[in-house]
Structure 1
Amino acid sequence: MSLFRIVYVSDAIGVAADSLLALIDIIGVSDRNNRRDHLTGVMMRCDGRFFQAIEGRRVDLDRLMGRLRADRRHADMRILSDRRITERLFPAWAMAQIDAPPALKRLLVCAPDDPQIEARVERLLTDVSRAMTAA
């Protein structure tokens, strides 16, 4: 089975930008849906933006991305990375949520056409995965 990882950033809209209850709702629904669809990943909210990495089969990721594009709680979705992977970084997490590390804030100021963006994203996700595993 081929696995893929999609990483995107989007602008949070309305209460989704700063409400803890809205974030808890998003994580809860995402966790349930991702378990059903055999997806794993992590979400971070930083400075009014969502940063999310999702891993799974292409068909399941494409279906999720369609739902996410229609979700009115965020806008201006930008794909930072979409690649084939050999293993999941977040195998135990249908949808983990963590506080944004300083590296994410630095990443979010990079230009979307930065040729190093995908490598920066992968380093950030690897560090986050290691920290989650160690905790």
Structure 2
Amino acid sequence: MEFRDFHPIKAPGLRARRPAAPAPAGAARDRWRTLPLEGTFEVVYEDARGAWTTRTLDARELKLGPGRTLLGGTDRVHGLYRGLRADRIRRLTEPASGTRIETGILDWLLARAEAQRKAHRPRRAA
């Protein structure tokens, strides 16, 4: 018995190719959106094991994805990029202004990113 008996092919050396499957209808919803965000924040964060840590983060972006939102930036202590899940942030403090937020953190971050986007948008000449 030969290999071809179990795996038929149309022509020797060529395999039959199936057309690519169409993208699912919800594919546009499953994409991540990135909003630029600037600022330095002190974050009290609960990690996956339940341990609470305090981190100082130089924020770069807010990533909105399917089922979660990440606050991305550089951790000042380690000098590495971190993506912190917004639902695990227990307290957010902005040292420059003294703002301290313990509830509605995601809403505050979204409003801040939107305000920065509007402030940085170039104005059109009339």
Report the TM range for the smaller structure's normalisation: 0.3 to 0.5
Q: Which TM-score applies when normalising by structure 2? A: 0.34
Say which one has the larger Rg: 2
Higher share of residues assigned helix? 1
Between the two structures, name the one with larger relative contact order (CA 8 Å, sep ≥ 6).
Answer: 1
